[in-house]
Structure 1
């Protein structure tokens, strides 16, 4: 049975090792290398490659293509599809490198971040049952929050989506393929469009998109696009051989379009853009299908590049690199505190070495010999060594067994994570924000005879040396820093409208402001305190200023982020944009917080309740009380 199974090994898994069949398609490993590199760069710093997370969708298309190709080939060659053998091959490819990663992650978390063990217990169960994506949806995890501590096993959501696809799709293939390949291609195509449509329908502008990103129902389009390619594009399955000029031209065109589409997606489709979830992910999936179809066997220029040995080496180990890189980065943040270039190089090197070791000592032996065959080969290797080396290997086996026991006991007895003072402060502020509107007067309620409408702001709301504008003329939009200070803001500026939430980024601003304007709730003065959770392009902020119009006054609160690498970039963008507009002013929270770090929580970012929150509110009020400056010389607003 083992020998029969190794003739047709599986051709899938999110970035997985190659099989003998995929070796005849050298471009596939090259595309895997491209995808895992994009994901790694994105996780190192999203500002370097805003759409790098879409590398996962490239993996999805590859997996859907290879899996469907294998199933259809088995049906054509043998007249049947053995689901039992199919699922056994899945286990041989996916489980061996997964278990060591889980073990190392649990042990590492116990040593570096013990408070996360209680949450990790549920996530390990989700990883072992391939339900990680639904566990994270149920736990309200955010894939895109850059400030809050991420789950150390968060990346396994994609593995769960693929495994659920591997469970359901072969059953559909068995049933539908009896009616012909065209019917199967139609089912796959409609499924891809349906999943993309569900993502677009459920996605809510202004909210965290993690639900539609994690969901199997909303994120299966790439897998099904790959399935369509496997059924409808026979040229992608052709054996190497002489190619006509026309075929070479078609392949070069397809691969060029594919690279261009993927590249544009990686560069333009940031994680908060509406276009990403309303067709962008589907477009990148289609571009990946074009790239697969056009790479040929290294005959086209793009295919030649993707088939180079170093690229294929990385692609062959991409599954292990995907598994290991995220725990290494998350635990590395806890160990080093701040990711510098040197720290990033160390983390990437560690992940690559772990992936290479996993491929050499775990993945390839199991793929070649099967589980029992790999164990027999390992035992023979031990018997063939000197007694000293045998003793060392047996000691290593004992150490691994001890670590397994330690990991199980640690998870079973993991203490509940304590609720920090900051968490209590944010929860209290959020609860206060949910009080009935009567507790927070609207402009009309506060001053029915004199307050200007939100649709037509009055210059009287502009700040003056006598003091800040009335609170009922101010709309405030912010993240967790503003949320922590919101009680003090309401005390100093009665009637102020505040919408502040944890993990909110600047990319959410346009949607929320648009909603305010649509409901007539946008006030003459806007206070914007976003930037804690990641960088953003200046064009985004310019767009917000355009939304507000020239008659409103905008105050931008800069950030104090001594432990995050993007603080300087955020403050530079805020300063540069504010200096270009006479109705935009900068509030220097960075300077105030830096001079009073004793009023911040140990994270050195959020103000403590009482004096810390009042420092934030006082900084805002004092800035709003200063005269407006004249327009910069020679600059047109």
Structure 2
């Protein structure tokens, strides 16, 4: 309504501000910096473990922490989507995870293949299967079917070995939404949480059922055996809603802090002291226990325990946690490609520092220029810019996949037919226990050292065997490769029972079974592949009854070398003179030429020296 100039318009009633409290969505997914800190602890533990640092013997459990975190965060997202839209778009959910994980994975795989093709061209052809399995999220089953152990590799391992854990997570990302959506509609949130806990227990049982002390790959790689942490995280997400449930009273906060700090300390102790060779880890729910402890820590880290959340939310830990995916992807290829040989092995911490810095630099580049832009919608904006419809987008995606596979085949194409002698435990096994293969040539390496120039002298003729009766030699790949020399030294009736990757835990039963039918002496050459427990050694001696027993020490560049030799030497001293100790480490220290390029398996001359040392101990 118009008004005359100079007149005043009628006054409008003044609005009274009304304060409306926002309705908090109890199923929202708030960002918790403490979880980034927990990721940082997990990835740092894994890196320290792969660097073979003595104080990080349980660092492999960092993977279990990742599994639990993944189950928690993924289930939070599923619950939030279900509450928001009334349904779960499984296809969209899987595609979103793929957009987050696949680009950096493809970059890591292809970049590693390029470096291997340039630096170690003879190794490239053997990586085709690993690369394809990694890109298709099947690496854990590829390794399991191939019988590849996780922690017993002495020759240069595959740079894609670590991607088994990403394959496990990806498989669970596909299966869990399907199972979750169907079961939740019938049972409800709390009952699904109970069902997830029951499935976690079933996974622990499957781990125990699959466990073999001499070949723990099935219990370590199989998705069903390693799902317990993921399922515990999922159950935690269903029972604990950080957006709605927070301790309000000082007494409640103090209680949560005490429980959270206790769990965090227990988790750190496990990361430092656990052993991947301990039977208890597989038979008595070690992974399940780690998942439960991690669940308590993550509840505290999301705000229930101010002390824990504040500690884990420190800026350095958060920064590392945000880059944890890239650090995990790239650290293992860098460690493999810079595996110390010759003089470089003596540089110790300085070399490790350089490897860690290289990992952080590559991970930072991946985070800044690959992961972050894609997470913020770079691919979506690009497809919108060029106006791709679904069919065109599918064609482009298929072309990218085809180019990636073609690149893998091109980079792993053999340069020519190369004949080489066995250089690893697996190769020695293939040679058979009745052969004594020639000394392996130096493995190709980007880091040459004096070990590459070793000349292999002609071995001396075997000493005339002594009449000791039918000796029983129980061993791993070292004894397997030395079978002919040992038989020549101890006599034609000698039984060499050797398997690649064999652990001490299975030795008592093997000795007991043989001793029940045979009267001869017992030789045990084990301990290169993992830790030796004093109880197992005592059980071996008891199983041999009153027979002479020879315990062969180890020379292996692993953190358990000194401890194993100490255990074996102490057992021999307690049971002398029936039990003798062969100090193989001392023999190698006096003459490094006894070992091949992997610094573990004996050369031809080394096998002769080892066999003669065993013969002298028995004599």
What TM bracket, shorter-length normalisation?
0.7 to 0.9
Cα distance, 1:150–1:547 mapped onto 2, change above 3 Å: farther
Pairing 1:214–2:214 present: no
Matched residues in 2 for 1:521 and 1:238: separation?
68
Which structure has the greater CA radius of gyration?
2
Q: CA deviation at 1:212?
A: 1.6
Q: CA deviation at 1:428?
A: 3.5
Pairing 1:126–2:133 present: yes
Pairing 1:496–2:494 present: yes
Q: CA deviation at 1:372?
A: 4.2
Q: 2:479 maps to what in 1? A: 482
Q: CA deviation at 1:541?
A: 6.5
Cα distance, 1:405–1:218 mapped onto 2, change above 3 Å: closer
Provide the secondary structure at the position in 1 that maps to 2:496.
strand
Matched residues in 2 for 1:165 and 1:217: separation?
10
Pairing 1:587–2:587 present: no
Q: 2:440 maps to what in 1? A: none
Q: CA deviation at 1:64?
A: 0.5
Picking from 331, 346, 349, the partner of 1:325 is 331
What do the CA deviations read for 1:55-101 (whole angstroms, capped 9, x no partner)? Answer: 10110010001101110111112212222321222122112221221
Q: 2:32 maps to what in 1? A: 25
Q: 2:256 maps to what in 1? A: 251
Q: 1:635 maps to what in 2? A: none
Q: CA deviation at 1:200?
A: 0.9
Pairing 1:528–2:532 present: no
Matched residues in 1 for 2:131 and 2:86: separation?
39
Q: 2:393 maps to what in 1? A: none
Provide the secondary structure at the position in 1 that maps to 2:473.
strand
Task: Spell out the pairing of 1:425-504 with structure 2 (5 A cutoff).
Answer: 426-430=429-433, 470-472=468-470, 474-494=471-491, 495-504=493-502
**Could you state the TM-score of these two structures normalised by the residue count of structure 1?**
0.76
Q: CA deviation at 1:334?
A: 6.1
Matched residues in 2 for 1:601 and 1:471: separation?
31
Q: 2:506 maps to what in 1? A: 511
1:192–1:220 contact (8 Å) kept in structure 2: yes
Matched residues in 1 for 2:149 and 2:372: separation?
34
1:250–1:294 contact (8 Å) kept in structure 2: no
Q: CA deviation at 1:525?
A: 3.5
Q: 1:8 maps to what in 2? A: none
Q: 1:313 maps to what in 2? A: 319
Q: CA deviation at 1:343?
A: 0.9
Further displaced range: 584-593 or 541-550: 541-550
2:105–2:135 contact (8 Å) kept in structure 1: no
Cα distance, 1:514–1:355 mapped onto 2, change above 3 Å: same
Q: How many residues align?
A: 540
Matched residues in 1 for 2:411 and 2:490: separation?
49
Matched residues in 2 for 1:50 and 1:597: separation?
27
Q: 1:361 maps to what in 2? A: 369
Matched residues in 2 for 1:374 and 1:334: separation?
43
Q: 1:273 maps to what in 2? A: 278
Q: 1:409 maps to what in 2? A: 410
1:258–1:290 contact (8 Å) kept in structure 2: yes
Q: 2:612 maps to what in 1? A: 618
1:559–1:589 contact (8 Å) kept in structure 2: yes
Matched residues in 2 for 1:594 and 1:548: separation?
32
Q: CA deviation at 1:201?
A: 1.2
Matched residues in 1 for 2:45 and 2:89: separation?
35
Q: CA deviation at 1:556?
A: 2.6
Pairing 1:172–2:179 present: yes
Provide the secondary structure at the position in 2 that maps to 1:556.
strand
Unaligned runs of at least 5 residues, structure 2: 1-27, 386-402, 437-463
Unaligned runs of at least 5 residues, structure 1: 1-20, 378-401, 434-465, 626-637
Matched residues in 2 for 1:539 and 1:297: separation?
44
Pairing 1:74–2:81 present: yes
